[in-house]
Structure 1
């Protein structure tokens, strides 16, 4: 028995709200204005502050986790970003109570300023399912499939003109996992993510796409096309903490092809350093095909 939902543990990407560069620039200006340096040095510092702020903003990581709406940015040429964590889901339906654990991981390599190569997996998984009528319990553990893909950043966001940041993502899920968690053949997916910078450092995001999967032999075999659709809204809590809410449809298909996996969720991110972020998230399933609860803890590290 597999966990329900196409990606039961991996809650992709709500971008942190914008405004980091603006805050850092303001902080530098306040510090400089309070100093007792000569006027020439003070003027030089104030003139350089925007450049330093821009450099800091460029170096600040923008992880794709947590959430379904992935960031429209790429990591930058020659940079690497590791996003990993621990996922837990619980569900009770059709007379079965299940619990699962996973270690979702995404590794992003920038081979150009606007392009990155991606390796993604739900990592090591453990599943326990109990028949509520008989008490019989089945257990499974092993490795999830791995996906290879690319992201192409095609447009920068502009809050003044309401122009969203845009990126295309093309992934290929490979049937590389352990038998209990392995999918059927190679499953491609194509997604478009869009982000808007809103007033007061709020942000909004949308993601939509299609994936191609294969039914198991017991379900008649053959390929089918499913949809992906999600929306998020993010806001600043303070200079380092951000919050978000989302509505996530990571599997939209007919009942024969797995049904609709839809959830509502919220979470927070904590930027400890320009290259280190922690996050926590919780999602509530809204359909029969979705796990009742999904919890996640994550860490993102830039290199």
Structure 2
């Protein structure tokens, strides 16, 4: 695990090193990232642009006093601008999960799994720019491929889709919200799952943004996993952004807490 974390940190530093000398060549359009929050905005990256969004995340949950720890190092999304209103999306995570199991009244043992998770290909479409009280509207569709660790991957291709909305409240505040449905693996079953999220984003100045959000997912015949989190985004360069987040679960089925950090880097073109 130490080697994976070291590699991830070196990758972050390498991205920063590459971004510094070429920022002036990047697109003049404002950098817009889909991380670190769960809400996805309807905006797509500019045509011909490649944008890398990557980060680290740690999550802990405890059931019957037995902890499960989850590490994503890294979680990565590549967004490619195809036309003015559409982008191609490629994503994958490297995940490690440590789960403590009770083997007897007095003894526990830890089971560890690691490998690729959430290997996805998809697209985002910007359908309507918004006007007055009418929100900007987008659609995002992904398929999760049956690749990676057998414990994490779906048994076959898993489609999902979501409607994405954004309302500009003031020059510094906007409201974003999503609702979607997809097929996801839950334990040993393959279930339909509803997911929904809402976030408020505040532009503090030209280089600093904050957000607070609620997001949830509910599989068929299961309890909803409700979560809240907050985050901060810092624009280091016109084409490079740093972020940090922290959140907690607010329902029994949700994780106890999670934290993360990452970078968004728009490659010059």
Q: TM-score range by the shorter chain?
A: 0.7 to 0.9
* Larger fraction in helix: 1
* Secondary structure of residue in 2 paired with 1:228: strand
Question: Is the CA contact 1:176–1:182 (under 8 Å) kept in the aligned structure 2?
Answer: yes
Q: Which residue of 2 aligns with 1:143?
A: 116
- Give the aligned length: 238
Residue 229 in structure 1 maps to residue 229 in structure 2:
no
Q: Deviations over 1:79-135 (max 9, x none)?
A: 0110000010011113421111102111011111111010122x2111112246523
- Normalising by structure 1, we get a TM-score of 0.73
* Other-structure match for 1:208: 179
Distance 1:215 1:252, change over 3 A: closer
The question of whether the paired residues in 2 share the 8 Å contact of 1:75 and 1:108 is answered with yes
**Matched residues in 2 for 1:83 and 1:95: separation?**
35
Flag structure 1 segments of 5+ consecutive residues without an equivalent.
1-55
Instruction: Work out whether residues 157 and 197 of structure 1, in 8 Å CA contact, stay in contact via their aligned partners in 2.
Output: no
Q: What is the deviation of 1:58?
A: 5.1
Say which of 101, 124, 127 aligns to 2:97: 127
Tell me, yes or no, if structure 1 residue 178 matches structure 2 residue 149: yes
SS in 1 for 2:215: strand
- Quick check: 1:59–1:275 contact (8 Å CA) kept in 2? no
Q: How far apart in 1 are the matches of 2:211 and 2:85?
A: 26
* 2:42 counterpart of 1:72: yes
Residue in 1 that maps onto 2:66? 96
SS at match of 2:151: helix
Match of 1:284, SS?
A: strand
Rounded Cα–Cα distance in structure 1 between residues aligned with 2:80 and 2:32: 13
CA distance in 2, matches of 1:242, 1:167: 22
Q: Which has the higher strand share?
A: 2
Q: 1:252 aligns with which of 218, 225, 228?
A: 218
Aligned-pair RMSD on alpha carbons? 2.0
CA deviation after TM superposition for structure 1 residue 301, in Å: 0.3
Name 1:276's counterpart in structure 2.
240
**Does the 8 Å CA contact 1:129/1:137 hold for their aligned counterparts?**
yes
Bigger radius of gyration: 1
Contact 2:172 2:204 in 1 (8 A): no
Q: CA deviation at 1:64?
A: 0.5
Matched-pair contact (CA < 8 Å) for 1:93–1:288: no
Q: What is the DSSP-based 3-state SS (H/G/I as helix, E as strand, rest coil) of the residue aligned with 2:180?
A: strand
Deviation at 1:209, TM superposition (A): 1.0
List alignment gaps of at least 5 residues for structure 2: 1-25
